[in-house]
Structure 1
Amino acid sequence: MKKSYPFLVLVFFSSCWSYSQSIATSPYSLYGLGSLYESNFGLTAALGTAGIALPSEEFINNKNAASLVNIPANNFFFEIGGTGIQSSFEDNVRKENRNNFQFSHMAFAFPITARSAFNLSLMPYSSSSFKISGLKIPIIDGNNEYYYLNVIGTGGLNNLDLSYAYRLNNKLSLALSASVLFGNTTDERTYSISSSTTSIDKKVNYSGIRPILSSQYKMTSSLTFGLNVKSPTRINANKVQSVTVENGSGSSFLETDKKSDIDDFYLPLDIGVGISKSFKNKFNVTLDYEKSYWDSTNQSDMYASFSDQEKFSFGLSYQKAKTARNYFNRIKYAMGAHYDTGYLEIDNKKIDDKNLSVGVSLPLDHLSSSLYISYTYGSKGQITNSLIQENYHKLTLNLNLDGIWFVRKKLE
């Protein structure tokens, strides 16, 4: 376990939070690849992010690519989404607020044959956005000498996901996906002591491909099981760094855009299982359990360690009738709960995340075009000497457009 320091709380409270390009503007994005971001398509944000076993025919279910085979023949789905987040960060003394809204994902999917389908999605994978200003740090513990640190961090990784699904029979479908991860993070920091200032500007580039195997098994017309297996993956990394020293005699450049390799980042084996049960074609209950084996990656951050992560998701939805003439009868209502133990461990404490959610699906036509609106309230972390608590309100807007393709017009 790496040593952690109480001054890490100041990663947030000493900042001005002047960045809006990142979805996760969080002090915890200081670690690893940044805060990992989970895109939620359709109404899954309102279902506590559950959806591994959802045999969706109405939207692109990114929780399990095997569900793509349920898209009706000749239908073409296009979805775009956005997320707004209002966060508050607090410790025993202070509290700060932060607002942010940004693009969440863009995707399209369509059947290739009666048994197969394809999906292409672009979404954020991680986000890094933090600022430290004038942090006073002792050079040696118990010593009266200090240096002052200023840090600005931005960037993150993107995820280009390509999925192919195939229906083996009326009960079982399989899918193979490739998550192409790419992007960079920047870290600009200055160390000041006496009349000398050292500036280090670092840009780290990441790239990697993560294979994913998914399946859904339809036990009955109302009961479905799902499975996801995400392969352990190495994310290749290299950096470009410049180092400048300024003192009373002038400036000197120790490094200028020097390229070098750094330690690669390792993503763990992820396994997720789910169950979805419908009742009277009106109610649906879905449950997910996921585990990420971070311990096996044998890696840690400067002030944190990575440990095994578990996620528990529950979702409940209700729709009176899918094809009713009355518009309000076709609206789908949803609610959910989610608990994530987290994978970061700081000062022997896990950074967990728990939330509750509600939402609706508003039909836009008599196909599957819909506007999905979800609200989530949750909290992350806890208040200790070395940690802060993040409370957040999240509004998710997803627009799914459904069109009929490859059908010849009939002449009357």
Structure 2
Amino acid sequence: MKIKSVLVVLGMVGMGIQGFAQSISTSPYSAFGVGSLLFDNNIEQAAMGGISVFNTNPYSAGANFYNPAANKDLNVTSFDLGVNTHMSQFDDGSMVSKKSTTYLSNVSLAFPVGTKARAGFGFQPYSSIGYDLSTITEGDELRFRNDYKGEGGVNSFHVMGSYNVSPEFSVGVRANYLFGDLNRHQIITTEGLALVTDYSYEAKLSGFQFTAGTYYSKKIGTNKHFEAGGTYTLGANVNARIEDMTSTYMLMDNIPQNIDTIQYHKIYGDMKLPQSVSIGASYRKDLHWMFGAQLDWGDWGAYQMDEADNSNIDTRFRISAGGYWIPNFNSYKSYFDRVTYRLGGFYEATPLQFGEVGIKKYGMTVGFGFPVGKDRDASMLNLAVELGQLGKPNSSVIQENYANVKIGFTLNDIWFRKRVID
């Protein structure tokens, strides 16, 4: 079977996961909390504004890890792989800069287990830190340069399972094993002096997070369906080993000399991740079109890295809508009549707060699912483009205009099915 080669890919990913380090985030907004949140959905869902708590694949041949219960009708083994290129333009009202990065956004494998159960596992970045900023301040006839740098992120290796309670209702659960490093540095130099002060904060994280999901599908007439889904993610305490150090040194020909450690703390504690809820509903005509909407809420005000953490983070709220359209899934005259066309949009009140200013995010998405391989297995080459904006340029807030270009594929095959005739 063509999908068996997928096991080689998964094996390579698995062996490299522990040392896995991608350069993902380029945003100054990743300096706060756990960084820029990335764990969300696959490419086909991203192309429809991020809707993901119900079935979003027109052939029920793509795995849903956001809501495991929504895999009720998955009857094939499905392998999914995606890559994202993120391009950003930053505007602080006086200067404009650009950055970009490309990274592996998702890899997963899911399959039916008997007639009522489904299972799967995958890997995806959960969050990322990546920023490099400089400021100049003056005081007492001295000029100080502050360099802020951050890198690292949290990754998720996850497994999911679901069970069809009835022909219309299913339940599911997902377990995320989260691991990674968050590194932040602030370096202060004084103009005309060789003395440098370095504040370093490094956290190594590992622990579990659990999500429960439900899914309901009601047939209306001969070929239409109303669907609804929801997920609840429990708050989690992730193990954190934190090293907090302040040091000073002299720069001689740009080489640190006479390093003196002023303060050093090694802390074993927890990173507190918040609870979150997602609900949504859709209406579709089989193999032709679908439209859906979704609400997401996360209690990020409860986030805390350690007892001294005073991160200015609040509740997250997001509303998204989108859908797909297939002109004629069974067309033999036109290939493009069998393409899945996707469109969506979203608005998000992010958890980030700058004084009284809350950071808002909004965008539009478009995508395509190009059929590949045999007609019966519904394998696709997926493409999605997201154009969005984060923040507004003024004295305290930077505006980030960004574009995400996602490309990947979904390969489907039949495993674990007994042959009637050998």
Structure 1 length-normalised TM = 0.86
Instruction: Identify which of 332, 356, 365 aligns with 2:364.
Output: 356
Q: For the Cα contact (< 8 Å) 1:41–1:59, is it kept in 2?
A: no
Task: State the Cα deviation string for residues 285-317 of structure 1 (Å, max 9, x = none).
Answer: 011011112234578997851111111010121
Structure 2 length-normalised TM = 0.84
Q: Structure 1's 197 and 298: CA in aligned 2 closer, same or farther, altered over 3 A?
A: closer
Q: For the Cα contact (< 8 Å) 2:44–2:369, is it kept in 1?
A: yes
What one-letter code is carried by the residue in structure 2 that aligns with 1:334?
R
The residue number in structure 1 matching 2:293 is 287
The residue number in structure 1 matching 2:416 is 406
1:339 partner SS:
strand
In the alignment, structure 1 residue 223 sits paired with structure 2 residue 226: yes
Deviates most, 105-114 or 279-288: 279-288
Q: Over aligned residues, Cα RMSD in angstroms?
A: 2.6
The residue number in structure 1 matching 2:73 is 70
Looking at structure 2, the residues matched to 165 and 321 of structure 1 have their Cα atoms a distance apart, in angstroms, of: 31
Task: State the Cα deviation string for residues 70-91 of structure 1 (Å, max 9, x = none).
Answer: 111xx21111100112211102
Looking at structure 2, the residues matched to 317 and 31 of structure 1 have their Cα atoms a distance apart, in angstroms, of: 35
In the alignment, structure 1 residue 44 sits paired with structure 2 residue 45: yes
Looking at structure 1, the residues matched to 244 and 406 of structure 2 have their Cα atoms a distance apart, in angstroms, of: 37
Q: For the Cα contact (< 8 Å) 1:41–1:398, is it kept in 2?
A: no
Q: For the Cα contact (< 8 Å) 1:24–1:37, is it kept in 2?
A: no
What one-letter code is carried by the residue in structure 1 that aligns with 2:408?
N
Task: State the Cα deviation string for residues 326-352 of structure 1 (Å, max 9, x = none).
Answer: 433321111001111101111211111
In the alignment, structure 1 residue 29 sits paired with structure 2 residue 35: no
**How many residues are aligned here?**
386
1:29 partner SS:
helix
In the alignment, structure 1 residue 389 sits paired with structure 2 residue 386: no
Looking at structure 1, the residues matched to 72 and 265 of structure 2 have their Cα atoms a distance apart, in angstroms, of: 45
Looking at structure 2, the residues matched to 101 and 370 of structure 1 have their Cα atoms a distance apart, in angstroms, of: 21
The residue number in structure 2 matching 1:307 is 314
Q: For the Cα contact (< 8 Å) 2:129–2:151, is it kept in 1?
A: yes
- Per the TM alignment, residue 236 of structure 1 is displaced from its structure 2 partner at its CA by 2.5
The residue number in structure 1 matching 2:137 is 137
What one-letter code is carried by the residue in structure 2 that aligns with 1:212?
T
What one-letter code is carried by the residue in structure 2 that aligns with 1:328?
F
- Per the TM alignment, residue 21 of structure 1 is displaced from its structure 2 partner at its CA by 3.8
- Per the TM alignment, residue 160 of structure 1 is displaced from its structure 2 partner at its CA by 1.1
What one-letter code is carried by the residue in structure 1 that aligns with 2:361?
D
Q: Structure 1's 88 and 396: CA in aligned 2 closer, same or farther, altered over 3 A?
A: same
The residue number in structure 2 matching 1:240 is 243
Equivalent runs, 1:9-408 vs 2, <5 Å? 21-54=22-55, 56=57, 57-72=60-75, 75-133=76-134, 135-137=135-137, 144-193=141-190, 194-220=193-219, 222-241=225-244, 243-247=246-250, 251-254=258-261, 260-261=266-267, 264-279=270-285, 281-297=287-303, 305-326=312-333, 327-365=335-373, 366=375, 367-407=377-417
- Per the TM alignment, residue 138 of structure 1 is displaced from its structure 2 partner at its CA by 5.1
Deviates most, 237-246 or 95-104: 237-246
Looking at structure 2, the residues matched to 209 and 96 of structure 1 have their Cα atoms a distance apart, in angstroms, of: 37
Task: State the Cα deviation string for residues 64-109 of structure 1 (Å, max 9, x = none).
Answer: 111223111xx21111100112211102211111122111111000
What one-letter code is carried by the residue in structure 1 that aligns with 2:351?
Y
- Per the TM alignment, residue 165 of structure 1 is displaced from its structure 2 partner at its CA by 0.5
The residue number in structure 2 matching 1:13 is none
Unpaired stretches in structure 1, ≥5 consecutive residues: 1-19
Task: State the Cα deviation string for residues 346-384 of structure 1 (Å, max 9, x = none).
Answer: 121111110001111111121121011111111011112
Looking at structure 1, the residues matched to 80 and 287 of structure 2 have their Cα atoms a distance apart, in angstroms, of: 25
Looking at structure 1, the residues matched to 268 and 129 of structure 2 have their Cα atoms a distance apart, in angstroms, of: 18
Q: Structure 1's 316 and 185: CA in aligned 2 closer, same or farther, altered over 3 A?
A: same
- Identity score, percent: 22
Q: For the Cα contact (< 8 Å) 2:270–2:305, is it kept in 1?
A: no
Q: For the Cα contact (< 8 Å) 2:209–2:234, is it kept in 1?
A: yes
2:72 partner SS:
helix
The residue number in structure 1 matching 2:5 is none
Looking at structure 2, the residues matched to 145 and 167 of structure 1 have their Cα atoms a distance apart, in angstroms, of: 69
Looking at structure 2, the residues matched to 280 and 352 of structure 1 have their Cα atoms a distance apart, in angstroms, of: 36
Q: For the Cα contact (< 8 Å) 2:369–2:383, is it kept in 1?
A: yes
Q: For the Cα contact (< 8 Å) 1:333–1:361, is it kept in 2?
A: yes
Looking at structure 2, the residues matched to 84 and 304 of structure 1 have their Cα atoms a distance apart, in angstroms, of: 29
Unpaired stretches in structure 2, ≥5 consecutive residues: 1-20
Q: Structure 1's 242 and 43: CA in aligned 2 closer, same or farther, altered over 3 A?
A: same
